[in-house]
Each structure stands twice: as C-alpha cells, then as structure tokens.
Chains A and B, each alone.
Chain A
Amino acid sequence: MSESTIQIALVLPDLLGTYGDFGNAVVLEKRMAWRGIKAEIVPINYGEPVPDSCDIYVVGGGEDTAQTLAVKHLREHPGLQRAVTKNAVVLGVCAGIQIFGESFTRADNITHPGMGLIDSTSHAGGSRAIGEVLAEPANGLFEGVLTGFENHQGRTVLGPSAQPLAHVKVGTGNDGSVEGAVQGRIVCTYLHGPVLPRNPQLADMLIEWATGTKVAPLDLPAVTAMRAERVRAAS
C-alpha cells in the first residue's frame, strides 16, 4: 500500500451540501482508514482556490442559485478540471451530474454552460422525480443493485462518450431508463441517500481506482441490513 495519504476533496460543501452528500466523503475516508489506507477529507469552500492535487473529488447536490454560483467558481478556479486530466477520481451527485456536463437548462429555459467533463446535457423535466431508486449497474461495473433516493427536476441525456452508471428498475434516474454517467474515472449519479453509504461496492470501486489496489471486503452488518431494507422497500 502506498505510504502517501489519499486526499478526498469535498468540493464546495457550503454550496453543494444540501442533501447530506457530505456523507460520501466520510464513507470513502472511513473505508480506507479501516483498511489501513491513510486518507483525509479536504473541504474546499466557496472563495477558496480548487487544488488539482487531490486523489478523489466529491461533489454534492444543491439548490439552483447555489449550483449556479458553484459552477462559476469551478470555472474560475479550474483545479478540478486539471485534476481530471491527471486521472483523478471524481464522484458527482445530482447537481454534480448537471454541472459536469456540457450544459444544463433550467425550468426558466436559461441554458448555463457546464464544465464539459462528461458528454451530457441536462434540462428541466416536467415533474420532480422524488423517491427510492433501484438500478442495475451497467457493464458489470460493480456487484449488487444500486440503491438511493432521488429528488430532482433535471433530466440528463448522455452523448456517445459517456456510459450510463446503471439501468433503472425503479424510479427515474436520468430519463426513466438509465441512471448516472461514467466517463473515464468520473462517476455521476442522481442518487442521494447518500449514495456511498447505500452502495459500499461503488465506494470500494472508487477507492480501488484511486489507490490502484484491490481492497479486502469489509463486513459492516448495519450496512448489509440497511441495503436489504431499502431494496425491499423499493421493490
């Protein structure tokens, strides 16, 4: 195992922290720490430059005005974009999937430029998608069903360079059929819960990408029990 500390950048938690997605960073940190991998969370607040040296970047969901301010900041301080060219691992949730794309169009029909990190566009859907989601991971990315809670009005269309993260069984996801996006080492999803406490297999996939090492299984009975409950409740 590498001696260096894996740095998890928590991107703009003051703007994109409305839906508890901070938990994704905690889960990554603890699952590494419990396996003897040194890891730390580096919060990057609004107004601070975005470093390009972190190993994993975690971006959460936020309200519309906060999202606009966040994308402005991330374009002015393009550390995250530079990190992507250096193969950093990125998780974008909800607002994340919208701002990482080429553009996103709000309910007021105004189109905002995205960060162009994934081949996708987002627009406002007719109704808000709210509820439990179950989806089957695409391309055998990881094992077990993807579970989460969605609460968004955006609908996302993927271009040819982006692959879906999963195929929707229950809920809406991007468009009622596929959920999330994967492009290189960027993973996006509409799912809260947050998504990594709900899906430890996805968390470990991101950890393996970041460390370049296969990790040993971690038996957390509470997580197993909660997943089973949520899958049952959604089915």
Chain B
Amino acid sequence: MTARKGQWCHTGSIAGVNDSPARLPLRTAAAVKLGNLSSTLSQKMGLGAGGMIGGRVALKLDPQALNRLTQGRKVAVVTGTNGKTTSTMMLARAVAALGEVATNHSGANMPDGHVTALSKQPDAPFAVLECDEGYFPAVAGASHPAVAVILNLSRDQLDRVGEVRTIERSLRDAISGLQNCTIVANCDDVMVTSAAWNASKVIWVATGTGWHHDSASCPRCGNPIRWQGEHWHCTGCDLARPHPNWITADEAMITPEHQKLELRLTLPGKFNQANAVMASAAAHAMGVPTEEAVARLRGVSNVSGRYRTIHRNGRSARLLLSKNPAGWSETLTVVKEANHPAVLVINAQEADGRDLSWLWDVPFERLQGRTVIASGERATDLAVRLTYAEVEHTIVPDPLKAIDQMPPGAVEVIANYTAFRDLNARAAADE
C-alpha cells in the first residue's frame, strides 16, 4: 500500500479509482496466496515463467477471483488479433503516470494470466490486461473495465480460434453488455467497427490498417463493403467508417484537439505507430495527459523479446514475431528496407494453429533475391511455399543453427508463436 502511494504523480482524485482496491474476501485472499506460491515454485523449479500457473491455482480455488481482484481498480482490457502485447505494454507504461499498474506480460493473456498478474500486485489501483480475443467476453464481464481497446480482427489460427466473423459477433455481444466502459476502436478495420458500433461510448482511432481481406462482405448484413480511399461503407446497411477522433499520421498522430504529435517510437513499423496511437487514446481515456503518455510509450523497445537483437558468432539477429497473414504482411514490410538475410521459422503446434494453409496468404514473393533459410518444426511446408514463390532458400530446422549459417552481420529472424517463444527462451539461456 505504502509503496504505491509514492507513485501517484497526479494530485486529486481519479474518476473510478478508490483510494485502495477493495479488501479481498477470505477465500480469494487464500486463493491468491496459494496461487502466488505456485508461481514462485514453478519459477524456482524451472517449470515455467510462472505467468499462468498461479492464476490457474487461484481460479480453481476461487472461480470469482478475476472479478474480486479487479474490484476497486480502474481496468483497461486490450484485445484484437495483432499487437496486443505491444499495445498493452505501451498502455501500461502510460497509465503508470497515474500510479502503480498491474499488467500481464509475455502473452499470458487468458484469465489465469490475468489472475496471476493481479495477485502479484494486489495494491495497484490500475490494471492493464492483454486479453485473448476468445476470452474477451468472460474477462470484460468479470473485470468491469473502464476502457476496452479493440485493435484489429483478421484471420488467425482458423482451426483453433474459428472464423473472424464468429469472433466479431462475440465481441459485439460482449461490448453491448458493458456498462460505463469507453471502447477505443480501430475504425479502419470493418470487423472492429462492427463490434464497437452499438457501444454507448466509443473513441474511434484511424490506424491505417492495411489488411482488408477478411471484410469484403459486411459482418452485419452480408452485403459487400465498398472502399473509397480510406473511407468505407456497407452497401446494404448503415455500417460505415465513423469519423475518427484520433488519427495515425506518418510517424505522428493527430489528437481530438487537432494537435499533431511526433511519435518517434523506438519500435519499427507502421503497425507499431498504430499500436502507439491506440494506446495513447486509451491512456487519455484512463486519465493520462496525451503528451505524457506518448513520452512514456516511446521508451518501449523490447516486448517480451520481440524486436530484440541477439548476438551470436558475429551475427546480429533481430527477432520478430508474426503469427498470421496480416502480421507477416506487416513484418515483411518492416524487413524490406534493408536487404538483410532472413531466417523464417514456422511451427504448427496447437497454439500456432495446426493448419498451415495461411502460409499461402503471406506475400513471400517479396523476399525474392534475398538469402533465406526456412526453419522450424514445419520448415518443409515453408520450403514448399518459398519454392512456388521462387525464393531461393535452404532448410535448417533449428533456428539458432540457421542464424549461425548466415553470413556474418545483420540477420532478420521472423518466427510464429511457439517458434518465437522457444527461440527466445533458448537465446536468453545462451546469453
């Protein structure tokens, strides 16, 4: 409690935040204690990072733990297909201007991850929770967020997650049931706009999302969506691009007061500019002055290992995570600027989606003429895709060995979810 007080930067009361989070009922308190103990044990025994097990134990002992642990806190929930972890980190950094923030790191974005994070910081008056889009209805229902950020929705692990429209529909239903919640939504994404369309309070952010392949037909009425420049509208119902309150401009953003602020991010790529503007708009809704929010999120440079560079035997390998066609498409744009050799790492475990058909939605043709190694547990599937894209390549299933086989100098490594997670852990162990 006392540790938190010193961190309050702004005097006066903050709407929606009590002086301290509500006292936990005995059952939750005991559940939290045992959960925290399991997290510590798990870490000490080298079983895991402890990001989920504590929450899993606590939720077993008290199924209402998420609801109870968020009571009295001002909560923001961040969801969407891509950019969740980065945007959550940016928003958490920005909201820290107001006080201590409990937040889930490293993609532990289901209720057990949330409970673990909240249990570890029981006194933090703010919480910023990254949430898997499938769990959004349950998590938003339990945590009564003041702000919900809906980044984007596109095809991702269709065999596991299901089709985009099903996700949109469940978000739409969940959002319409939220009270006193400000939705921060990407109006350049038809699916997100539809999900947030009926919410009582929405802040629309123009992000310049480039992926439109999942919204040729309206999620509400099935009629075609027509695009004219950045504007879009449904030809059958009233769904149309709302007027944005916040706009992502080139390396800058335009606030609702028409003020232009330079972003100057450490993180690369247009999609991170979009993440930063979404996070700034959400931070503003949480009560953080915009200039302060931007100054804080600028410092984000390494998001659970993403974008970090590892050094091995004269190679500097930048690690990039991409999980689905929209993500890969953006990442291939980021690596386009320099013609560095690329190691592409593909797994197809359950968490990645078992079906690799999506590799054919990724414009790998853009890598023609580059030195490329296909890697990962499903390197041969990738090799077939690269063969037909006429990208010359070799196959080295172990990504660290693949990096070592590249010429000395800069190397780009792009990996999907479990491939990235495993590579990141091994690289960290080597350091």
Interface residues of A (CB under 8 A from B): 14-15, 17-23, 26-27, 30, 46-47, 63-66, 68-69, 130-132, 149, 151, 192-194, 197, 220, 222-223, 225-226, 229
B361 and A22 contact, CB distance less than 8 A:
yes
B165 and A22 contact, CB distance less than 8 A:
no
B165 and A194 contact, CB distance less than 8 A:
no
Closest beta carbon of chain A to B186's beta carbon, Å: 20
Range, interface on chain B: 20 to 34
Enumerate chain B residues within 8 angstroms of A151, measured Cβ to Cβ: 158-159, 355
A18 and B385 contact, CB distance less than 8 A:
no
B213 and A20 contact, CB distance less than 8 A:
no
Closest beta carbon of chain A to B206's beta carbon, Å: 23
Enumerate chain B residues within 8 angstroms of A149, measured Cβ to Cβ: 159, 354-357
Q: A149's closest neighbor in chain B, by CB?
A: B355
B355 and A64 contact, CB distance less than 8 A:
no
Enumerate chain A residues within 8 angstroms of B388, measured Cβ to Cβ: 23, 26-27, 30, 197
Enumerate chain A residues within 8 angstroms of B390, measured Cβ to Cβ: 30
8 Å CB contact of A65 from B155, B159, B217, B389: B217
Enumerate chain A residues within 8 angstroms of B219, measured Cβ to Cβ: 65
B155 and A222 contact, CB distance less than 8 A:
no
Closest beta carbon of chain A to B370's beta carbon, Å: 17
Question: Would you mind naming 18 contact pairs between A and B with Cβ atoms under 8 Å apart?
Answer: A19-B357, A20-B357, A20-B360, A22-B361, A23-B359, A23-B388, A46-B216, A46-B224, A63-B163, A66-B217, A69-B222, A149-B355, A149-B356, A151-B159, A197-B384, A222-B384, A226-B381, A226-B383
Question: With A65-B222, A66-B216, A68-B222 in contact, is A26–B381 under 8 Å at CB?
Answer: no
Question: With A18-B155, A64-B165 in contact, is A23–B387 under 8 Å at CB?
Answer: no
B383 and A222 contact, CB distance less than 8 A:
yes
Q: B166's closest neighbor in chain A, by CB?
A: A63
8 Å CB contact of A19 from B158, B224, B386: B158
Enumerate chain B residues within 8 angstroms of A220, measured Cβ to Cβ: 384, 387
Interface residues of B (CB under 8 A from A): 155, 158-159, 163-165, 213-214, 216-219, 222-224, 354-361, 380-381, 383-390, 395
Enumerate chain A residues within 8 angstroms of B358, measured Cβ to Cβ: 19-20
Q: B355's closest neighbor in chain A, by CB?
A: A149
Interface centre among B217, B219, B354, B358 (most CB of A within 10 A): B217
Question: With A149-B357, A197-B360 in contact, is A222–B395 under 8 Å at CB?
Answer: yes
8 Å CB contact of B165 from A17, A63, A130, A192: A63
Known: A149-B354, A151-B159. 16 other contacts (CB 8 A): A14-B213, A18-B158, A20-B358, A20-B361, A23-B357, A23-B388, A30-B390, A46-B224, A65-B165, A69-B217, A69-B224, A149-B357, A193-B355, A197-B384, A223-B387, A225-B383
Q: A228's closest neighbor in chain B, by CB?
A: B380
Please, how many angstroms separate the alpha-carbon atoms of A66 and B224 in the complex?
Answer: 9
Closest beta carbon of chain B to A134's beta carbon, Å: 15
